[in-house]
Amino acid sequence: NAGVMQNPRHLVRRRGQEARLRCSPMKGHSHVYWYRQLPEEGLKFMVYLQKENIIDESGMPKERFSAEFPKEGPSILRIQQVVRGDSAAYFCASSPESTGYTEAFFGQGTRLTVV
């Protein structure tokens, strides 16, 4: 059973370009979370999605950021018109469908560098 797969592992974008980060959850997992790790900081929750639904986006910046988890295919975190402050490691995690939560499994992250 493969783990949570994120790609690309490293992404370099120029200011003003778009960044697309992909996350394939573990097999059988239908819940996906995105976290951002800024330099010298811990991980901060961004968004929680189930298939075709955004459940909690309380940690998402109000502009330029969006996320989706379509019925087919990976979850996508999209950052439009990137700025230097978007440089960070973005982690995806997944958990199985259940009535309660006890653990999430993390991917290896995408390290975004904006130049």
Partner 1 sequence: AQSVTQLDSQVPVFEEAPVELRCNYSSSVSVYLFWYVQYPNQGLQLLLKYLSGSTLVKGINGFEAEFNKSQTSFHLRKPSVHISDTAEYFCAVNSRGTSYGKLTFGQGTILTVHP
Q: How many CA atoms lie within 13 A of 26 on its CB side?
A: 17
Of 17 and 50, nearer to partner 1 (C-beta) is 50
Copy the structure tokens of residue 58: 């309380």
Q: Per rule CB under 8 A, is residue 11 in the interface with partner 1?
A: no
Q: Could you tell me the smallest distance in angstroms from the CB atom of residue 86 to partner 1?
A: 19
Q: Are 42 and 52 in contact (CB under 8 A)?
A: no
Helix (H, G, I), strand (E, B) or coil at 7: strand
Q: Which position among 19, 77, 95, 114 is part of the footprint of partner 1 (CB under 8 A)?
A: 95
Of 19 and 91, nearer to partner 1 (C-beta) is 91
Copy the structure tokens of residue 23: 């996350």
Q: Per rule CB under 8 A, is residue 52 in the interface with partner 1?
A: no
Q: Per rule CB under 8 A, is residue 106 in the interface with partner 1?
A: yes
